[in-house]
Amino acid sequence: MNGCRICGGRVEEFLDLGPQPLPDAFLLPEELGEEYFHRLAVGRCTGCTVVQLTGEVPRERVFHHDYAYRSAQSGAMREHFARTALGFADTELAGRADPFFVEIGCNDGTLLRNVAAAGIRHLGFEPSGGAAALARSQGARVREDFFEAATAAAVREEEGPAHVVYSSDTISQIPYTASLLAGVDALLDPDGVFVFDDPYLRDMIEKTSFDQICNERFYLFSVRSVTAMAERYGFELVDAVRLPGYGGGMRYVLARAGARTPSPEVARLRAEEEELRLTEPETLRAFAASVLRIRDELTALLRRLRAEGRSVAGYGATAKSATVTNLCGIGPELVPYVCDTTPGKQGRLSPGVHIPVVPPETFTADYPEYALLFAWSHAEEIIAKEQGFRAAGGKWIVYVPEVRVLES
Ligand code: SAH
Ligand code: TMP
Ligand code: ZN
């Protein structure tokens, strides 16, 4: 096992999710048989306490031209990004002569198009060519590259310092932390901020949302571990804000060490983590035991429903669903199809277990009796949109925070 990617400390494994595919590697039927699997296990650093995978997948295998995820698929996230962009325009970027905004992992430009529309100088880093092309078509400026020490320094050289470096659901996917933060150090204005939004360890533990763990996401951050990360690389965590999206997320605001007065929220949230013993080994071991219980309950429920001849479909071919289906062995015999709005996922097979992905119209044209809500982090939006399903007698099945059939 490798040492911790933040501090070099010893990483103690607490959960093994078995061999898992890449969660965004949806297959064409003719590609069957060529799949990449990697053992998915998570551990805790005995030094800085950050929760991280015990192994790494080479980044080019994940974030290549056809990387399937598209930010624009969720209405709630589109609003979150518009609010975030306008928020920066009104605060951090306001009053500067020529503000410069950089986004790491801009994907299809769902956030950056708001920055572009406000006429703010900006640049998105996006290694996936397919996503980058969409972002450009939205009016965003994109560098088709991984953000790291060298590429960030090149942008600093060519375009000057950035006042805000923002990233959503991407910093937790970057294991090469030293290079990442050297890049931020090279690019950020002395008085700039590095802001990132990612799933929060506390929400994952409290909801037993183990499907936040996959071969794409390397870290599950806490206020404690991000504080350690910031300090190690010359930064300081100056604010932390819990977010409803991301299946329960946290916004971390970093500035150069000593440049800003930290908000009292940082200490308050950190104290709550201590009180909950969030990053203590026994908490993580209890979480692991709950994961295995949920696996058994979900598998038993689906087997029973199918044995009774009930029809079941999956809703949302999320990255998260790869972890659940592969851990539980849920294939087309238990869930014959999964519907998803992402064009690049439709007509393909889900990673590892090969459930066909179909457009939502297949679902609405002939409702199943039960729908397994893989996209649980968008539950409110989806259940509101699919009222016809319940009206037709359909029932949602969820597994976060417990396996339950929602009675309408
Ligand atoms: N920010 C978007 C997309 C998150 S998915 C959202 O929140 O919806 C993560 C994105 O980061 C992918 O588009 C991936 O291609 C990109 N990415 C991965 N590693 C990166 C790196 N080192 N630098 C920049 N982008 C990266
Ligand atoms: P996420 O959990 O990584 O945000 O992925 C959400 C997935 O769910 C994505 O593939 C799009 C899909 N989705 C739908 O199919 N319908 C919806 O209404 C929403 C919000 C998402
Ligand atoms: Zn560590």
Tens of pLDDT, residue by residue over 5-28, are: 999 999 999 999 999 999 999 999
Yes or no: say if 285 and 13 are a contact pair by the CB < 8 Å rule. no
Please give the number of the atom of ligand 2 that sits closest to the Cα of 75: 20
The verdict on the CB of residue 238 being under 6 Å from ligand 1 is no
pLDDT value at 334 more than 90: yes
Please give the number of the atom of ligand 2 that sits closest to the Cα of 73: 11
Q: What are phi and psi of 43, to 5 degrees?
A: -140, 175
The verdict on the CB of residue 382 being under 6 Å from ligand 2 is yes
pLDDT value at 392 more than 90: yes
| Residue whose token pair is 């995978």 | 53
The verdict on the CB of residue 80 being under 6 Å from ligand 2 is no
Distance CA 25, CA 340 (A): 14
Residue ranges, CATH 3.40.50.720, the chain: 283-406
Residue ranges, CATH 3.40.50.150, the chain: 61-259
Quote the pTM value: 0.96
Among residues of the chain, what percentage have pLDDT more than 70? 100
pLDDT computed for residue 330 by the predictor = 98
Mean pLDDT over each residue of the chain, to the nearest integer: 97
Distance CA 379, CA 381 (A): 6
The verdict on the CB of residue 348 being under 6 Å from ligand 2 is no
Distance CA 181, CA 179 (A): 6
Q: What is the pLDDT of residues 174-233, one digit of tens each?
A: 999 999 999 999 999 999 999 999 999 999 999 999 999 999 999 999 999 999 999 999
CA 199 to ligand 3 centroid distance, Å: 18
CATH label, 61-259, candidates 2.60.15.10, 3.30.465.10, 1.10.3720.10, 3.40.50.150: 3.40.50.150
Please give the number of the atom of ligand 2 that sits closest to the Cα of 317: 10
Residues with CB under 5 A from ligand 3 (ion): 4, 6-7, 9, 45, 47-48
Q: In terms of residues, how long is the chain?
A: 408
pLDDT computed for residue 1 by the predictor = 56
Q: Mean of the pLDDT values across residues 366-377?
A: 98
Best residue for ligand 1 mutational test, from 57, 114, 126, 148 (most atoms within 8 Å of Cβ): 126
CATH homologous superfamily of 283-406 equals: NAD(P)-binding Rossmann-like Domain (3.40.50.720)
The verdict on the CB of residue 152 being under 6 Å from ligand 2 is no
Yes or no: say if 102 and 166 are a contact pair by the CB < 8 Å rule. yes
Instruction: State which amino acid sits at residue 201.
Output: L
Residue 119, classified by CB atoms within 10 Å of its CB into exposed (0-12), middle (13-18) or buried (19+), is: exposed
pLDDT value at 408 more than 80: no
The verdict on the CB of residue 74 being under 6 Å from ligand 2 is yes
pLDDT value at 34 more than 90: no
Q: What is the pLDDT of residues 284-326, one digit of tens each?
A: 999 999 999 999 999 999 999 999 999 999 999 999 999 999 9
Among residues of the chain, what percentage have pLDDT more than 90? 98
